[in-house]
Amino acid sequence: MRVLAAMSGGVDSAVAAALAVEAGHEVVGVHMALSRNRDQFRTGSRGCCSIEDAGDARRAADVLGIPYYVWDLSERFEDTVVADFLSEYEAGRTPNPCVRCNEHIKFEALLDKATALGFDAVVTGHYAQVVTGPGGAPELHRSPNDAKDQSYVLAVMGPERLARAKFPLGGFASKDEVRAEAAQRGLSVSAKPDSYDICFVADGDTRGFLRSRLGSRPGTVVDVSGDVVGEHDGAYAFTVGQRKGLALGRPAPDGAPRYVVDVQVSTNTVVVGPAELLSVDRVAGEKAIWLCSPAEEAGPDGWIDGEVQVRAHGAPVPARVRATGEAVHPGEAVPPSGTPGLEVQLVGDPLRGVAPGQSVVVYRGTRVLGQATVTGAWRSR
């Protein structure tokens, strides 16, 4: 099989490429340059796609004896992932840029270009498993490495692209095992620190990045009664469930901590309230992508029994889920949004701090069934 190995310059992608070579595939390595103004070096564990990373990827490819190329996808990355990040925050929602990167870059731009060049599949260093189901179709499953499992951000792939993806690290139970594999093969990245946070916000200051792109937009912070309790420099910088960085002028009457419970973009207002207002047991989503047939997985009443997860490393919670022809929002049965959606009913404890824009991923055990973008969450009981 002729495969394209995405090589970030880190240990995971290097070992994934090595395992693809050992499996007998014809492997070509490619490093995606995603930043328009790449730094020479990384800052510890922050950032990615630096010139240093490209060099590390090239050295790994040399050790493996495979061809290596650098593809400039910075314009595509800026126009999709970064643009979506900014527009979502500007609209008062909380996006996950890793989900959008997997959707638009790694398994759209990269995979589609690989297919056009005659490659059969793309190999990446993601921690997830592709399993052949009873009917022969590929299924996406969690990695046994709970701390590194990335099935949540991969759920957006869709069945066709999943069939052309390979995740050689899916069976590894720990990162130490991967580093040991790298050291055994003489790969210099075996001890390289993991990257984390948002790759295009290398200093970790998300609020500062948003302000630099969206500008200053002063407004008020109010409590649930409408009383002004503080000021802000832009409602776009706040997310539901946030407690830190509110800079409130006076405490709550009962002294209890207050959290962001709503972001009203139309009036540039941030609403804060007590923790209990963050608990929800219903979630609605739009732009649903299924890795199964929801009709086949559902019971006679149309509901799927499983679990849902609303954060990349959050805990899955028991739920009933049903596919909807259009998105479902609080107070409306089926509004005219025109996009496939899903509706979630939690069957146990409520979730806390679910924000519009997040991904809600549906699981049954280790298997990913589907994904959607949260449009609303509320408490029905």
Spell out the alpha helix ranges (H) of 91-247.
97-101, 110-116, 151-154, 159-162, 175-184, 206-214
CA–CA distances in Å: residue 202 to residues 86, 105, 208, 212: 16, 19, 11, 14
Q: Is 22 helix (H, G, I), strand (E, B) or coil?
A: helix
H-run or E-run covering 155: none
For 31, residues 6+ apart whose C-beta sits below 8 A from its C-beta are: 6, 7, 8, 9, 53, 54, 57, 58, 68, 69, 70, 71
Task: Please confirm, yes or no, whether 49 is among the known catalytic residues.
Answer: no
Rounded to whole angstroms, the Cα distance separating 172 from 75 reads 34
> What pairs with residue 323 in β-bridges?
342
Q: Are 14 and 85 in contact (CB under 8 A)?
A: no
Q: Are 7 and 13 in contact (CB under 8 A)?
A: yes
Number of helices (H), then strands (E), belonging to the chain: the values are 11, 19
Which among 48, 49, 98, 199 is annotated as catalytic?
Answer: 199
Tokens found for residue 353: 């701090």
CA–CA distances in Å: residue 351 to residues 317, 327, 368, 370: 8, 20, 19, 19
Phi then psi for residue 298, to 5 deg, are -80, 155
CA–CA distances in Å: residue 174 to residues 28, 47, 311: 26, 23, 21
Please compute Rg for the chain using Cα positions: 22
Q: Which amino acid is at 275?
A: A
Which among 48, 49, 98, 101 is annotated as catalytic?
Answer: 101
Phi then psi for residue 203, to 5 deg, are -90, 0
> What pairs with residue 372 in β-bridges?
360
Work out the number of other CB atoms within 10 angstroms of the CB of residue 33: 17
Place of tokens 């099989």: 1
Task: Please confirm, yes or no, whether 199 is among the known catalytic residues.
Answer: yes
Question: Which residues belong to the active site?
Answer: 101, 199
